[in-house]
A and B are shown apart, each in its own frame.
Chain A
Amino acid sequence: MVRRLAWLKWRLLRNGLRKDWQRRIGLPGSILLIGWGATTVAALYLDRVSGLEGAARLEFAHWSALALFMFWVTLPVVIFPLDENLDPDQFALAPVSPRQLVTGLAVSGLIAPSVVILLVTIGANVAAFNEVWPVAILAGLLMAALMIVAGQMLTTLISAILHTRKGRDLAMLIVVGIGLFGFLSQQVVRENLREVGLEESVLAHPLSDTAWLLPPVAVQRVVTDAARGAWAGSLMWAVVAAGWILVMAWLWHRLLAWLLTTPKESPSQSRKRGSAGLASGRTWGVRTVMARKELRFYLRDPRQRLVWTGAVIFLGLGAASVLVGTGGLSLFRDRDWLPLLAPVLVLFVGLPIALNMFGWERNAASFLFVLPARPRKLMVGKNLAVAAALAVETSAMAVILAILSNSWAVLRFLPALTVCSIACQLAVGNLTSVITPLRLPREGTDVFAQATEQGCLAIVSQLVSFFSIGLLLVLPASVMVLRVQFDVLPDWFAHTFPLVWGLVFYAVSLWLAGKLLSRRIPEVVNWVQVV
């Protein structure tokens, strides 16, 4: 069974490459990118380990193992991978025991581009502790097993959470929570390192004593104990690490057994949302109904909700900068113009939707595009919804930034700048959505998840669009700087110029995108449909 699942994973990978030329470019590109990142981190690790001595060296190795483990297991939560092997439904009727499945999936987990990270980092650890290299290799194997089992277990746990609608809604909070926790941890570590240095920091917060509770540290202690000549301790930690791997494999096994036998949420359990429909509001017509449909999806689709709660992350960053008082972000606190940053920050939030309007339709695109609505009206409807959401988020964020910086006077420029930045984003977004519509992955919202579906072209298209928006905003932003910082322009000009600039670009882009879409509907439908 192990062999068969490994074969299946290999065939899925190979067939994906054969079928899709973009993947043929994207996959080697991702491997190179991942390899480059892993090598950089590994080189940094080697440099720091060689610069430390005694207990500090060993504690730094423990912390590094923990950081690598945390990165590895939480990565799939943020960038949920498209791993067809892990779909438990596909094995529901196959005569495969959960134990066989666990072993098979663990081995097939090695057939993935991300395994480069394991190879490089384990290689770095062997090089760092070359005096006990056979033990470091053995510990490396244990670490690989631990990371694969723990990573797969967490991915399965996410599948289990996503199994129900409530879980899918909860997943959004988990992702936001992990993002905030990661940022806060990074800030705390950074401050600590800045204040007392690496050696003092690791010695002040040793992990050796809590290694029982931390599986990756237990694995690393196999090496560090051997390095200081404590061979019995090394052996004991190998047993502890193996025990942790077995516990995690057992938990994974239980989760898979549950997933294979538990039906998805039954229809009768879902909440009724009232039968008023869309025909109860005051406004009616293609644009408004389309906008109202979009707004409902922003609230009801967990993935779109995740996109819009991106603002919460920025707010979290702001709060963190105040609470932790970090050097980086706290510099901004005293700036008068801080509230005017809100329209720019919010731009990042709406991008996944604004640049791929029809991708979010997924298979429903074939329902939408047999309806006799003018493409331009459809786009205006979608734009209205994005603009409404961005305007609300910008206003809220601007007020919070004004409180943080105690700067209220510049808020009078906010409406013009907000309209301008939303209009520029939509202007680029409309064209990008029509020219390079992206098929959304089954899970995930970020640009990397999109790349897993459509290769590096997706990244290129999104990056070009992002920089185009930035370029369009240079002139209105300069006008604001001249007015707010240097006081060289009249108020009326600072109000009018960004408005006219944004609206002109929006109007031109809408006209062009409408023309293009009316000719490209079959292509758009074909691109965005999820098979």
Chain B
Amino acid sequence: MLSDKAPVTTQTEPSSDAPIDAREGPAVWASGLVRRFGKSTAVDGLDLRIERGEFYGLLGQNGAGKTTTIRMIVGLLRPSAGTAGIGEFDTWASPLEVKRRIGVLPEEFNLYERLTGAELLDFSAAMHGLGQSEARSRRDELLALLDLESEAGKLVGDYSRGMRKKVALAAAIIHKPEVLFLDEPFEGVDVVSARLIQQLLQRYTAQGSTVVFSAHEMHLVERLCTRIGIMVKGKLAMEETPAGLCARTGTDNVEDAFIAAVGGGAESEGMSWFDGSPG
């Protein structure tokens, strides 16, 4: 099921006191994953192996294939070739088993805009098979933690961008999944809530759960991630710990290391018209 050639360069062990899942194998894996859209290839033979308890940062420039990869792993997009899965389950052979184990923070416009925040969380909980009273108590705690209590009765469509992110995160974690996929989770979220979410996620991975995290805020990636995979043109170009990434690229922070890894950083040459007074 798993590819032998998964390019794992560094493996981070979860903390020794964490209640690690007894099952063997990685939390998230992909093998020879390919996705073509017409003539262009968005993901090109990706092999991936993310261990349990990891806080994995999937980075890349716009159009590098991060979201496409995540959508294929969670079963929303059919791969052109290859396969992916969660734990011992293949996404395409056992989709329900995979979906029971994951939580996904979708793009902000993919929520039910005509449900209230409280209703959205109840809906997510019910679909994950949580009991009614358990769902209600988890919902209330999450709304309180994310400072959404007073907005619980408003339609999601009327939420601000940051509030949508928060309620989407709450919906993704209400069933305490084994693996959490977060696509730009901090975009538009206020600083206080962002810090709260970070603490929550760190607590979550400390117990052996896994986070796959896609973001452009490099200071957060550096602070949170135990390992980073950098995608370039649909391929995994580099995979390292934050420190290892800096060492390999000869830089002293993840942002510079990322720019070096993707081959960016060219001076903005030309554009002579841009100098001088506006107009």
Residues of chain A having any CB pair with chain B under 8 Å: 265, 267, 270, 272-280, 284-286, 289-290, 293, 296-297, 300-301, 363-374, 518, 521-523, 525-526
How far does the alpha carbon of A374 sit from the alpha carbon of B96 in the complex, in Å? 7
Which 5 pairs between the two chains have the least Cβ-Cβ distance? A277-B118, A372-B99, A278-B122, A371-B127, A289-B126
Check A289 against B123 for contact (C-beta < 8 Å). yes
Interface stretch, picked from B107-115, B187-195, B198-206, is B107-115
Mask of B125-155 contacts with A, CB within 8 angstroms, 1/0 = 1111101110110010000000001001111
Residues of B contacting A522 with CB < 8 Å? 75-78
Among B99, B111, B114, B125, contact of A300 (Cβ-Cβ < 8 Å): B114
Among B113, B127, B139, B154, contact of A286 (Cβ-Cβ < 8 Å): B127
How far does the alpha carbon of A301 sit from the alpha carbon of B113 in the complex, in Å? 9
Residues of A contacting B114 with CB < 8 Å? 296-297, 300-301
Check A521 against B121 for contact (C-beta < 8 Å). no
Question: Can you name 28 A-B residue pairings with CB atoms under 8 Å?
Answer: A267-B159, A270-B154, A270-B155, A270-B158, A272-B154, A273-B116, A277-B119, A278-B118, A278-B123, A278-B126, A279-B122, A279-B132, A363-B110, A364-B111, A364-B112, A364-B113, A366-B76, A367-B110, A367-B171, A369-B76, A370-B74, A371-B99, A371-B124, A371-B128, A372-B99, A372-B128, A521-B75, A521-B95
Residues of B contacting A296 with CB < 8 Å? 114-115, 119
Residues of B contacting A369 with CB < 8 Å? 75-76
Asked whether B102 is an interface residue with its Cβ less than 8 Å from the other chain, the reply is yes
CB distance from A82 to the nearest CB of B (A): 18
Residues of A contacting B124 with CB < 8 Å? 371
How far does the alpha carbon of A518 sit from the alpha carbon of B78 in the complex, in Å? 13
Check B76 against A267 for contact (C-beta < 8 Å). no
Mask of B159-171 contacts with A, CB within 8 angstroms, 1/0 = 1100000000001
Asked whether B106 is an interface residue with its Cβ less than 8 Å from the other chain, the reply is yes
Residues of A contacting B132 with CB < 8 Å? 279, 284
Among A363, A371, A374, A521, contact of B109 (Cβ-Cβ < 8 Å): A363
Asked whether B233 is an interface residue with its Cβ less than 8 Å from the other chain, the reply is no
Check A366 against B154 for contact (C-beta < 8 Å). no
Among B113, B116, B126, B158, contact of A285 (Cβ-Cβ < 8 Å): B126
Asked whether B100 is an interface residue with its Cβ less than 8 Å from the other chain, the reply is yes
How far does the alpha carbon of A284 sit from the alpha carbon of B135 in the complex, in Å? 10
How far does the alpha carbon of A300 sit from the alpha carbon of B109 in the complex, in Å? 17
Residues of A contacting B107 with CB < 8 Å? 363, 366
Check A370 against B128 for contact (C-beta < 8 Å). no
Asked whether B34 is an interface residue with its Cβ less than 8 Å from the other chain, the reply is no
CB distance from A370 to the nearest CB of B (A): 5
Asked whether B104 is an interface residue with its Cβ less than 8 Å from the other chain, the reply is yes
Check B75 against A277 for contact (C-beta < 8 Å). no
Q: A286-B127, A301-B114 are in contact. Are A523 and B154 (CB under 8 A)?
A: no
Residues of A contacting B106 with CB < 8 Å? 366-367, 370
CB distance from A295 to the nearest CB of B (A): 11
How far does the alpha carbon of A296 sit from the alpha carbon of B160 in the complex, in Å? 22
How far does the alpha carbon of A368 sit from the alpha carbon of B76 in the complex, in Å? 10
Residue of A265, A368, A523 with most partner-chain B CB within 10 A: A368
Residue of B nearest to A267 (CB): B158
Check A370 against B76 for contact (C-beta < 8 Å). yes
Check A279 against B95 for contact (C-beta < 8 Å). no
Q: A278-B122, A279-B125 are in contact. Are A273 and B153 (CB under 8 A)?
A: yes
Residues of B contacting A277 with CB < 8 Å? 116, 118-119, 121-122, 136, 139, 152
With A297-B114, A523-B78, A525-B76 given, can you name 17 additional A-B contacts, CB distance below 8 Å? Answer: A270-B154, A273-B155, A277-B119, A278-B122, A279-B125, A279-B126, A284-B131, A286-B126, A289-B126, A293-B115, A296-B119, A364-B111, A367-B106, A367-B110, A367-B171, A372-B96, A373-B127
Check A372 against B127 for contact (C-beta < 8 Å). yes
Check A279 against B76 for contact (C-beta < 8 Å). no
Residue of A nearest to B124 (CB): A371
Residues of B contacting A265 with CB < 8 Å? 158
Check B154 against A273 for contact (C-beta < 8 Å). yes
How far does the alpha carbon of A231 sit from the alpha carbon of B243 in the complex, in Å? 89
B61-78, CB < 8 A from A: 71, 74-78
Residues of A contacting B125 with CB < 8 Å? 279
How far does the alpha carbon of A277 sit from the alpha carbon of B143 in the complex, in Å? 12
Residues of B contacting A279 with CB < 8 Å? 122, 125-126, 132-133, 135-136, 139
Residues of B contacting A270 with CB < 8 Å? 154-155, 158
Residues of A contacting B126 with CB < 8 Å? 278-279, 284-286, 289
How far does the alpha carbon of A267 sit from the alpha carbon of B111 in the complex, in Å? 16
Residue of B71, B122, B126, B159 with most partner-chain A CB within 10 A: B126
Check B95 against A518 for contact (C-beta < 8 Å). yes
Residues of A contacting B74 with CB < 8 Å? 370
Residue of B nearest to A302 (CB): B114
Mask of B213-238 contacts with A, CB within 8 angstroms, 1/0 = 00000000000000000000000000
How far does the alpha carbon of A134 sit from the alpha carbon of B158 in the complex, in Å? 56
Check A367 against B112 for contact (C-beta < 8 Å). yes
How far does the alpha carbon of A461 sit from the alpha carbon of B171 in the complex, in Å? 35
How far does the alpha carbon of A286 sit from the alpha carbon of B160 in the complex, in Å? 29
Q: A267-B158, A289-B126, A293-B119 are in contact. Are A370 and B102 (CB under 8 A)?
A: yes
